[in-house]
Structure 1
Amino acid sequence: MAVRAIRGATQLEVDEREHLLERSAELVKAVLEANDLDREDLISILFTVTPDLHSEFPAVAGRQIGLTDVPLMCMQEIDVPHALPRVVRMMVHAESPRSREKIQHVYLHGAVALRPDLTGAQ
């Protein structure tokens, strides 16, 4: 079985802890569902946040939805002046029988603007 990297992102309305946890959990669940993945398929998840987000670690949302034995790590994005604000990004590393072309990357809420080529928002 191949190891695949799956991208995802979501944009928050405000930097509030519960909102960040809700959107982060929504993103993780959406990526797992879109790619028919179970917890056992996961190798690791890397989360990044834009510098304007600091109310909580997105990995906490992963733990809250049961990813207690999956390595999770949070980092801060580069502070680029024209970057989309209040964005949580993630890269999931997972074992999957899907070909690279069949992997579904997930962009939610305002983050669809980051990759309109992958979201049909062109």
Structure 2
Amino acid sequence: MIRGIRGAITVLEDSNEQVLHETTRLALEMAKANNIEPEFVASVIISTTTDISSTFPAKAVRSIEGWSFVPVMCTHEMNVPGALEKCIRILMHVNTEKAQKDIHHIYLNNAVQLRPDLVK
């Protein structure tokens, strides 16, 4: 079964260092919370709000040890007025036996406001 694991995080500024660091942090936390090894990840889609353009966040995921062969791509979120700014979202498609209700979605920094019902 392939399940989607969602996650989101915000950065303080649009810089290479911040984007790469926070994207790595989010991806690792998502994998840890769901006991995921890179071999079980079918693909990863990363989106950013349009105010992030300093680097490709996919670079951060590909640089995690063991993740270099995981297919990763980036895109921009819709530019909706009033939406959360400087936000990076990850959708990880994972082969797992877990039930949908047992998946742990991760929201960090100011992104906790996106889905407070899923934040532990």
Same fold (TM over 0.5): yes
Which residue does the alignment assign to 2:83?
Answer: 83
Aligned to 1:98: 98
Shift of 1:64: 1.2
Partner of residue 54, structure 1: 53
Identity in percent: 37
SS at match of 1:32: helix
What is the identity, as a one-letter code, of the residue corresponding to 2:51? Answer: D
- Runs of 4+ aligned residues of structure 1 deviating over 3 Å after TM superposition are none
Q: Which runs of 5+ in 2 are unaligned?
A: none
AA matched with 1:109: N
Q: Could you say which residue in structure 2 is the equivalent of 1:36?
A: 35
Q: TM-score, normalised by structure 1?
A: 0.95
Q: Aligned-pair distance for 1:69?
A: 0.6
SS state at 1:60 partner: helix
5+ residue gaps, structure 1, are none
Aligned partner of 1:110 in structure 2 is: 110
TM-score, normalisation: structure 2 = 0.97
